[in-house]
Amino acid sequence: MASIPLKKKNIPGANPGAGRFFQQWGMFFRQFVKHPGMIGSVMPSSAALVNRMLDRVDWHNTHLFVEYGPGVGTFTQAILDRLHPDATLLAIDLNLDFVAYLEAQFDDPRLKVVHGSAADVRRFIREAGHSQADYILSGIPFSTLSDGVGAAICAETRAALRPGGAFLVYQYSRYVRRLIDPIFGRVSDELEWRNIPPCRIFCAVREEALAQAA
Ligand SMILES: C[S@@+](CC[C@H](N)C(=O)[O-])C[C@H]1O[C@@H](n2cnc3c(N)ncnc32)[C@H](O)[C@@H]1O
- Give me the residue spans of the domains in the chain: 36-213
Task: Report CA(109)–ligand 1 centroid distance (Å).
Answer: 22
For 36-213, CATH gives 3.40.50.150
Q: CB neighbours (10 Å) of residue 194?
A: 12
Query: Distances from the Cα of 38 to the Cαs of 34, 101, 188, in angstroms?
Result: 9, 17, 25
Q: CB neighbours (10 Å) of residue 76?
A: 24
Mutation probe of ligand 1 site: the residue of 30, 32, 51, 68 with most atoms within 8 A of C-beta: 68
Q: How far apart are CA 62 and CA 191, in angstroms?
A: 25
Q: Is any ligand 1 atom within 6 A of the Cβ of residue 73?
A: no
**Atom of ligand 1 at shortest range from CA of 145:** 16
Residues whose CB falls within 8 Å of the CB of residue 199, separated by 6 or more in sequence, listed in order: 45, 49, 170, 171, 172, 191, 192
Q: Is any ligand 1 atom within 6 A of the Cβ of residue 75?
A: yes
Ligand 1 atom 3, closest CA: 139
Decide: 93 and 71 in contact? Cβ < 8 Å: yes
Q: How far apart are CA 101 and CA 198, in angstroms?
A: 26
Q: What is the pTM of this model?
A: 0.88
- pLDDT one digit per residue (tens) for the chain, 214 residues: 333 334 455 443 344 567 777 778 787 778 877 888 777 777 789 999 999 999 999 999 999 999 999 999 999 999 999 999 999 999 999 999 999 999 999 999 999 999 999 999 999 999 999 999 999 999 999 999 999 999 999 999 999 999 999 999 999 999 999 999 999 978 999 999 999 999 999 999 998 764 455 5
Q: How far apart are CA 6 and CA 210, in angstroms?
A: 38
